[in-house]
Structure 1
Amino acid sequence: MQYFHVTLFHKGKKHIELIQARSRLHAVQRIKQLFPSAMVIKVVQTSAPLEEIFQENFLKIKHFFTPQISMSDKIATIRQIAVMTDAGISMDDTLKEVATYTENRALKTVYGQIYHDINAGKSISEAMQSYVKIFGNIAFAMTSLGEKTGNISAAYYRLADMLESMQDNQKKFKKAIRSPLITLAAMAIAFAILIMVVVPKFKNIFIKFHTELPLPTQILLKLEWLFSHYGILFFILLFSIFVLTIYGYAHNKNIKLKIDSMMVHPKFYLLNKIIHLSTMYQFNMILSELIKSGVPIVEALNTSVDMIDNLAIKKKLLSVNENMSHGVDFSEALARTELYKSMLLQMIRAGETSGKLDKMLEKVTQYYEKEYKDFIDNISAYIEPIIMVFIAGLVLLMALGIFMPMWDLSKVVNR
């Protein structure tokens, strides 16, 4: 969320309101909700208030020392709420039961506080809003939807299914890349050991030749010299760059945007496709569910976009609502993002004109789900050739670097 100073003219007076919103357009929409008859003059982005910065940092420190809540635990409790409310048990009793018997201490505290807030007069969605960072915007949206329709159990069943689908895809991705990463790590360690242990034993022999050594041998000796003189410094520098990059990615929006933009660039083989397919699957799944449930398209878009982690893709999808506010059709606004294939845009356009947008978005979601799963299932076939070339290159360098001088020595001896 960003902060904006909105200058408006209301009831004959000029006001300046501080608004927290996703974008300038969203800030104007929020002002219109608060002051329907107001005329917006100017919207200027500003920094967060000092008390908000202190509160955010305090929550980060508190979160660091709080036991983490796994996705499985969240899904289990959400499904439990769905089952109990579906059986006719009141939300008050349901939350009390969940808070009492949930094993995760952090989740127990959260549900205990939600139960307390509801008894203090808050609605379910108002109580849930304080924990959006834990459950996500989609949980808040589905809770609000359940309240509006009077069917919280159906909303929570759908929420649990969506979260399970997202979790399954994350598990598949981690499983698919685990083996290649272990192989690369093992090769890197083996190469470092060879450079630091094996090469020094041959170094004195090679120096005694008093002749120009082959290029592979020179490379190995240079690497050995660098490792022996600057190895510790190199690893400290590498670790520092890694930590600073991670910190900057997590805390600096500009750094995160640059890194996210690089990761979805076509030059980043495999990674760009994984991020694109997984993000578009998640976005379209949530969007179709919200529209199918009767959520207005503008609100559904805002909630769906909020769930996106990659800022480069998020920035493009944020433009959809802005273009629609200027009279552009939904399908055309999506086309301008350049994130959808023409075939999918035709399907969305057909759904828009026929009044079956939710059905077509479901089809689009199924397409991205299939593409993502097929890609993950075959990712080893894409990565293995790269790993094999990498391994072959290291083995060839080591073999030529060690044996070529030996062959030259044997030729001299034979003469």
Structure 2
Amino acid sequence: MSVSKVLKKEKKGKLFNYVAYDQQGSRYAGFIEALNEKEAIKLLNSFGYTKVKVGELKSFQYFFIKNFVKLTKNDVMLFTRMVSEMLKAGFPVSRLFDVIALTTTNKKLALICLVIKENLRSGYAISNALERYTDIFSPIYVSLIKIGEKTGQLSDIMDELAKYTEEEYKVRTKLISSLIYPLLIIIVSILITWGLIVFIFPKLFEILQGFEVEIPLLTKILLIVSNVLGNPIILAIGFVGGFFIYTLLRIFEELSPAFKEKIELFLFSLPYIGNIMYKIYELRLARAFLLIYRSGMSFLEGLKNLEESFNSGILKKIIIKMQRFLKEGEYLTVAMYKTKFFDPFFLDMVKTGEETGELDRLLDKICYNLEFEIKEKIDVLLSLFEPMLIVFVGFIVAIILLAVFLPISSIIQGVTRF
């Protein structure tokens, strides 16, 4: 039984580290996944290894690596770029993944590299190993590598995948970095508001209590709010409840695609933000189309893989519709038009590309324009966001001042009458 077959079949096997020697006396060391120690030795012997020594990785270490060590999009991007550059440099594939396994700081990536190495040693392809990690490497990623392996253009395909993952990561990091500033402003605004209500207002109210005046309704309400927000037990319940609701929503999002799609539709319905979301989705599709085209894969096959690669319900539906129209013999532009998702500029550019044979260049142009448009829209949103928060904090301060000055006004009126 080959390592590849066992690796595909036994997805919950044990991890063993081993030391072994080949027929020429060369020493090898690495990880192997098998049902038990005997099976691990048997597998290694079947490859011609002798003097095999295996030892099971400690259960807590294995469990931790397998289930808790995660690969981020940044890890995948760096892995793809390293493979691409090493292939272009003519680095032997047999040693390539050993080098990455030794240089990476992510233990899970090291494990994946060693699994790939075992596949290569047993005569199987890189894609066979990556298929086991569909939660990390998307179907379109694996399919393109298969094409590269079949056509002998793996270096070029990996270069395109590296560009694709880098662009995806770049947009994602831009969005996150754009949100950091407004989030900080929101947090500071909330803390200032909380401090005013919990600490400042009660002190002012204590002064007012020395005067025999009727407390206005607004002041009473604000005092109740102050007592609630200043109660540590209520705050603890609020934090725990908020965390519970957040966790519940994430579980529903993972288990229910329909629920996740409703969240997407809600975001799309928001003024201005919905338009930014729409442009981001268009950009993701444009990049994916460009990757498919440059790889030489047919759009029908590429869309089939994209369907499983995207975790968005909206994008999945668009891709499914496009597949149906392409199967009916429609051109790419017509299939896109019938989904009723793409804007006229996108459609016109793709149509021109199909007619002139410059689809590669025009899809690249679409990506550039969408990136620029998204950046501009986010900048405008942020420029509006700051004054809106200032107005909000000012409104809260005005309410607090009003709650204080209303009883003061009553005191002044009483003194005047006296």
User: What TM-score do the two structures reach when normalised by structure 2?
Assistant: 0.76
Q: Take 1:173 and 1:360, find their aligned partners in 2: how far apart are those partners? A: 25
Q: Take 2:322 and 2:208, find their aligned partners in 1: how far apart are those partners? A: 65
**What residue number does 1:344 align with?**
346
**What residue number does 1:249 align with?**
253
Whether the 8 Å contact between 2:322 and 2:336 is mirrored in structure 1 is: yes
1:264 aligned counterpart, secondary structure: helix
Q: Structure 1 stretches (4+) deviating beyond 6 angstroms?
A: 61-64
Q: Take 1:96 and 1:232, find their aligned partners in 2: how far apart are those partners? A: 49
Q: Take 1:405 and 1:310, find their aligned partners in 2: how far apart are those partners? A: 55
Whether the 8 Å contact between 1:100 and 1:108 is mirrored in structure 2 is: yes
**What residue number does 1:263 align with?**
267
Q: Take 2:70 and 2:76, find their aligned partners in 1: how far apart are those partners? A: 11
Deviations 1:270-326 (A, max 9, x none): 432332222221221121121122110112223334443332343233211123323
Q: 1:64 to 1:197 in 2, by over 3 A?
A: farther
1:339 aligned counterpart, secondary structure: coil
Q: Take 2:259 and 2:127, find their aligned partners in 1: how far apart are those partners? A: 33
AA aligned opposite 2:276: I
AA aligned opposite 2:150: K
Aligned positions, number: 352
**What residue number does 2:84 align with?**
82
Aligned-residue sequence identity (percent) comes to 23
2:214 aligned counterpart, secondary structure: coil
Decide which of 273, 283, 286 is 1:284's aligned counterpart: 286
The gaps in structure 1 that reach 5 residues or longer are 1-60
Q: Take 1:284 and 1:211, find their aligned partners in 2: how far apart are those partners? A: 66
Q: Take 2:413 and 2:292, find their aligned partners in 1: how far apart are those partners? A: 77
Q: Take 2:81 and 2:239, find their aligned partners in 1: how far apart are those partners? A: 46
Whether the 8 Å contact between 1:283 and 1:307 is mirrored in structure 2 is: no
Q: Take 2:82 and 2:162, find their aligned partners in 1: how far apart are those partners? A: 10
**What residue number does 1:405 align with?**
407
AA aligned opposite 1:254: A
Q: Take 2:208 and 2:337, find their aligned partners in 1: how far apart are those partners? A: 63
**What residue number does 1:325 align with?**
327
**What residue number does 2:389 align with?**
387
Q: 1:401 to 1:75 in 2, by over 3 A?
A: same
**What residue number does 2:130 align with?**
128
1:368 maps to 2:370: yes
Shift of 1:180: 0.9
Shift of 1:231: 4.7
**What residue number does 1:16 align with?**
none
Whether the 8 Å contact between 2:140 and 2:302 is mirrored in structure 1 is: no
Whether the 8 Å contact between 1:214 and 1:404 is mirrored in structure 2 is: no
**What residue number does 2:158 align with?**
156
2:135 aligned counterpart, secondary structure: helix
The within-5 A match list for 1:16-35 is: none
Q: 1:384 to 1:263 in 2, by over 3 A?
A: same
Q: Which moved more, 1:323-332 or 1:382-391?
A: 323-332
Q: 1:182 to 1:244 in 2, by over 3 A?
A: same
Q: Take 1:111 and 1:399, find their aligned partners in 2: how far apart are those partners? A: 63
Q: Which moved more, 1:348-357 or 1:164-173?
A: 348-357
**Greater CA radius of gyration, 1 or 2?**
2
Shift of 1:413: 1.7
Shift of 1:228: 5.9
Q: 1:383 to 1:309 in 2, by over 3 A?
A: farther
Shift of 1:234: 3.9
Deviations 1:335-373 (A, max 9, x none): 233322212212222223344433332222222122122
Deviations 1:8-56 (A, max 9, x none): xxxxxxxxxxxxxxxxxxxxxxxxxxxxxxxxxxxxxxxxxxxxxxxxx
Q: Take 2:237 and 2:107, find their aligned partners in 1: how far apart are those partners? A: 42
The within-5 A match list for 1:30-41 is: none
Q: 1:372 to 1:223 in 2, by over 3 A?
A: same
1:144 maps to 2:133: no
1:134 aligned counterpart, secondary structure: coil
The gaps in structure 2 that reach 5 residues or longer are 1-62
